[in-house]
Amino acid sequence: MASVYYNYIASKWVGALSGETFASYNPANGELVGQVPQCGQADVERAAEGAAAAYRQWRLVPAPKRGEILYRVARRLQQEKERLATLMTREMGKVIAEARGDVQEAIDMAYYMAGEGRRLLGYTAPVELPDKFGMAVREPIGVVACITPWNFPIAIPGWKILPALVAGNTVIFKPASDTAVLGIEFVKIFDEEGLPPGVLSVVTGPGDAVGEALISHPAVKAVSFTGSTEAGRRVMALAAPGLKKVGLELGGKNAILVLDDANLDLALDGIVWSAFGTSGQRCTACSRVIVQRGIYHELVERLAARARGLKLGDGLLPATEVGPVVNRRALDRIEGYVGIGRQEGARLVAGGHVATEDGLDRGCFYAPTLFDEVRPDMRIAQEEIFGPVLSIIPVRDLADAIEVNNATAYGLSSSIFTQDINAAFRALRDLSTGIVYINAGTIGAEIQFPFGGTRGTGNGHREAGQAGIDAYTEWKAVYVDYSGRLQRAQIDTDDLVRV
């Protein structure tokens, strides 16, 4: 019998006020994972009131003490890593090794942000007048809504919740409905490790009922959202009347550039991992390979063979290399884009179908798919598919490759395989993405560096690293005048200079 889960609202584990629930299913086999509260406006109201009340005290807790709680959370996540990873594979499908990596990102972020409790760096600078001191310090914003996707159901909540908490904010967390059980389990750890009541709440339910109510609520002062670019525009529109601080991490159409001098074996490994890891369901997944014509045909032939040989199955099975996509809607979307690719005239060289062999028909599996002779202006080369579908685009040279890479609505991650250091540095300079890799795939960002992109990938904010604090703090400039008289900046300065 599947477990029944509850939301954590105003320091109590409760069901939705309506009494309604929804089910979470394993996309590999249709197994019921758990029943979760289906919240609405009234539940959001209750969570917002609790978070606003808790903020008044939490903001006054010294930041090093806030950090100590995060250290305890980090250690607990380490202890719970295998349990959470197994649940993740059951609830959203990624293979167990990747699920362990997902949890490890949250562990790393918890340790990193716990250390920020001893820093939260501001700065001092010289001032214009004598007997006066100036500094800039960070302050928390208030109640923060963190709305997260299903593809990294522990890591991405960690990227958002941990810096928000250490900075002194309270958080209302809405996990994706496809991974609501994991979201609840994540919050349990904070509660059990001593986070004060009301500082972190979790509300589960559909985005239109719960997410939009959260974004619009007057008690919520900032919103952090990861999802599609279309949904991100909706978030900004809802937050605009309240002039709320909004951080968006949105779509991608990431590319790997492969030049004629590349180590082809290494490039193939990087492409397969980036395109078909997590079944292509990463915002940083490679969905385009931009290849110089000198090695084009060899790369296509070898890549097609690799794609056909990948083992699909339940992510808990040791032999599985590619798990299911998250649900039937995703399966239909991918199938639709494969049809578009065919209509546009791209040549299908691998995959291109729902996988149903060997019992896979019980789940949501799509065969790793490869199109070649793709034109840069085709929809499959421009629009985010979010599945195991890869387009190969031939180009003349490095300049052509960079131009094709940059000619999309997105700018998250890019990569180049080359043994020419001059080409590598030109790519570093000219690829207009927030993340660039040299001789590696498009996935694998580490938590100590800023994560995010340009153009339609977001609104300029970054997650992780020192930049991860920015979305959850406001700057305050402080001046201390100990001269004992009124001094007027920019006015009483002429007599201070003596030759």
Catalytic residue among 39, 283, 286, 364: 283
Give the three-class secondary structure for 101. helix
The CA distance from 455 to 433, in Å, is 9
Q: Which of 342, 333, 462 is nearest to 385 (CA)?
A: 333
Catalytic residue among 185, 249, 384, 463: 249
Pairing of strands 369-372, 389-395: parallel
Give catalytic status of residue 403 as yes or no: no
Q: Would you give the distance in Å from CA 40 to the centre of its chain?
A: 25
Q: Would you give the distance in Å from CA 476 to the centre of its chain?
A: 28
The CA distance from 50 to 169, in Å, is 13
Q: Would you give the distance in Å from CA 234 to the centre of its chain?
A: 18
The CA distance from 426 to 430, in Å, is 6
The alpha-carbon radius of gyration of the chain (Å, integer) is 25
The CA distance from 337 to 267, in Å, is 25
Neighbours of 410 (CB within 10 A): 24
Give catalytic status of residue 146 as yes or no: no
Give the three-class secondary structure for 276. helix
Residue type, 29: N
Give the three-class secondary structure for 125. coil
Residues with catalytic function? 249, 283
